[in-house]
Chains A and B, each alone.
Chain A
Amino acid sequence: MKPPSWSPVLIVPLLALAALPAMAGATWITLTVAGVTMGVMLFLMASGLTLVFGLMDVLNFAHGAFVTLGAFVAVSVMGALAGQAEAASWGANLAALGAAAAAAAAACGAVGWVFERVIVRRVYGSHLRQILITVGGLIIAQQLILAGWGAAPLHVGKPLMLRGSISLAGAAIETYRLAALAVGLVLFALMLGVLNRTRVGLLVRAGVENREMVEALGFRIRRLFVGVFVAGAALAGVGGAMWAVYQETVTVAIGAEMTILVFIVVIIGGLGSVGGCFAGAILVGLAANYVGFLAPRLALGTNIALMVAILLWRPRGLLPVSKS
């Protein structure tokens, strides 16, 4: 088995360059930044799902519940910290947003831990049962959130200093998008650091490729899996929080809506591949923004068409993990 080639990732800049002649330069910059930002938030939501599948072959259709929970927790925290969010101070605004994201991560991590112990642990090795029980888990989670927060859409304003936009080469770029981009890139870099520079990360990478051999070397892969599941749920929560503030409106359907996109990202990237997940997320974000601008009627089908095209080209995704 040859090591994976990173060349398929070139599709991402190629897509961006291909869109350039079809629109004005300033529009292209705006849409590209928007697409990359959307992609980074999608990556946060999807990264845990791809690792959970890669490490333990678990299909978790309830992953979207963590996105929803993260979004609602963030809205509540932002509401409680309205004073800081409305203050004309970068520090107070970022503290409010950071607290919302941290609370979302903590709540989703804790619920993720319970979810793994109570539900997922019972269905290892059976994809059909995983699908049935996690879809059930998603429905129950949605109902619990409805019971807790009510059915009416919740509104949340962006922190004061993150409203509006800045001008870059004649293009208007929303300030919040830049902040979300920065948060996403920092978390991506942290994740890469953990995966590539720590012993735990080494075990995760090895476990994704050959779980059995990691156990035969004396490591308890299930403990590792619980950690990855909790971290993945927490990241989904952060993604949900950032997405909720970006959209400024939250409904209980947010998780289910994002689940479809998240699965598309994971499949495009290659199941179990963090690098592929990142590339897939950026690709989905860019395609959604470019097509939404150039051919709005086609926007709904863009992601499915993109996934089909990628799978026809590379049936196992952009950067598949080889299983041995």
Chain B
Amino acid sequence: MTGPLLRLSGVQTHIGRYHILHGVDLEVPEGRTTVLLGRNGAGKTTTLRTIMGLWRASAGALQFGGRDITRMETPDIARLGIAYVPETMGVFTQLTVRENFLLATAGGRFDQRRLQGVFGLFPILEQKFDQTAGGLSGGQKQMLAVARAMLEPCRLMIVDEPTKGLAPSIITTLIEAFRLLADAGTTILLVEQNFHLARSVGDGVAAMDDGRVVHAGRMADLAADEALQARLLGLSLAAHQ
């Protein structure tokens, strides 16, 4: 693979009358974890939703694996091998944990090896397998959302703020999950405001502000440069250190 797995070039997105993305340029290298940082309202979630085709880019181009996905429908984008965990988790609260999992499987059948792997990481989901997802705690729902994305092999996993409002013990479990995925060679694009998690799992980093990527580089460089951290992320970062 010579180019990045995912490339956004000058992507602009409007939501109704509002101009949210003003020309996002972003590259996500294959087999690496790229963290998208930025204050609230910078355009991180809009960028992920535009990649998934949930909001249509009004200008610019998106390429995945060398293929133009700018005008593709969401189901077609997902079928290219992109797993998406939205900020709202996307858990079906009126379905059981088993049924939530089944929706993510190819042909409605579990790969037992992967299922047991997920249970090894999130044992509580095995205990609550036949319970309605609406009865899970917030942390358990987040586990379910991430676990569901892990059930089938994917080329890219996109995760939007998985640690929002979660207890530290659950965040630790999620860090372990992302490390396992990364070790298995999965490419991850992660939106995260918790810099502890971002630094733990990220290889690369892109910082957004006002609908643009204003910095892209190695996570190690950002972690070592406090002045850059302060400039790019300011108070929102300090609050999470």
- Give the tally of cross-chain contacts (CB within 8 A): 73
Number of residues on chain B facing chain A (CB within 8 A): 25
Min CB distance A279 to B, Å, is 16
The answer to the question of A219 belonging to the interface, with a C-beta cut-off of 8 Å to chain B, is: yes
> In the bound complex, do residue B135 and residue A212 qualify as a contact, i.e. CB atoms below 8 Å apart?
no
The answer to the question of B110 belonging to the interface, with a C-beta cut-off of 8 Å to chain A, is: no
The answer to the question of A7 belonging to the interface, with a C-beta cut-off of 8 Å to chain B, is: no
- Asked, given contacts A322-B134, A324-B91, whether A215 binds B103 with beta carbons under 8 Å apart, the answer is no
The answer to the question of A297 belonging to the interface, with a C-beta cut-off of 8 Å to chain B, is: no
> In the bound complex, do residue B134 and residue A210 qualify as a contact, i.e. CB atoms below 8 Å apart?
no
The answer to the question of A12 belonging to the interface, with a C-beta cut-off of 8 Å to chain B, is: no
The answer to the question of B88 belonging to the interface, with a C-beta cut-off of 8 Å to chain A, is: yes
Which B residues are in CB contact (< 8 Å) with A226? Answer: none
Which A residues are in CB contact (< 8 Å) with B182? Answer: none
Instruction: Return the chain A residue nearest B135 by Cβ.
Output: A3
Instruction: Return the chain B residue nearest A323 by Cβ.
Output: B93
> In the bound complex, do residue B88 and residue A216 qualify as a contact, i.e. CB atoms below 8 Å apart?
no
Q: Which of A1, A203, A206, A216 contacts B86 (CB 8 A)?
A: A216
CA distance A205 to B46 in the complex (A): 27
Which B residues are in CB contact (< 8 Å) with A324? Answer: 88-93
Q: Which of A2, A3, A213, A322 contacts B90 (CB 8 A)?
A: A213
- Asked, given contacts A1-B134, A202-B95, whether A218 binds B79 with beta carbons under 8 Å apart, the answer is yes
Min CB distance A161 to B, Å, is 43
Which B residues are in CB contact (< 8 Å) with A86? Answer: none
> In the bound complex, do residue A3 and residue B75 qualify as a contact, i.e. CB atoms below 8 Å apart?
no
CA distance A80 to B99 in the complex (A): 47
Residue from the set A205, A322, A324 with the largest chain B CB neighbour count within 10 Å: A324
> In the bound complex, do residue B94 and residue A216 qualify as a contact, i.e. CB atoms below 8 Å apart?
no
Besides the known contacts A215-B74, A324-B91, 16 further A-B residue pairs in the complex with CB atoms under 8 A apart: A202-B95, A202-B102, A203-B103, A205-B99, A206-B95, A206-B103, A212-B54, A212-B74, A214-B103, A215-B78, A216-B52, A216-B90, A218-B75, A322-B93, A324-B88, A324-B92
Interface residues of chain A, those whose CB is within 8 Å of chain B, are 1-4, 199, 202-203, 205-206, 209-210, 212-221, 321-322, 324
Interface residues of chain B, those whose CB is within 8 Å of chain A, are 52, 54, 73-75, 78-79, 84, 86, 88-95, 99, 102-104, 108, 132, 134-135
Q: List 22 A-B contacts (CB under 8 A).
A: A2-B135, A3-B93, A3-B132, A3-B134, A199-B108, A202-B99, A202-B102, A205-B92, A205-B94, A205-B99, A206-B103, A209-B94, A209-B95, A213-B90, A215-B74, A215-B78, A216-B54, A216-B90, A217-B78, A219-B103, A220-B73, A324-B92
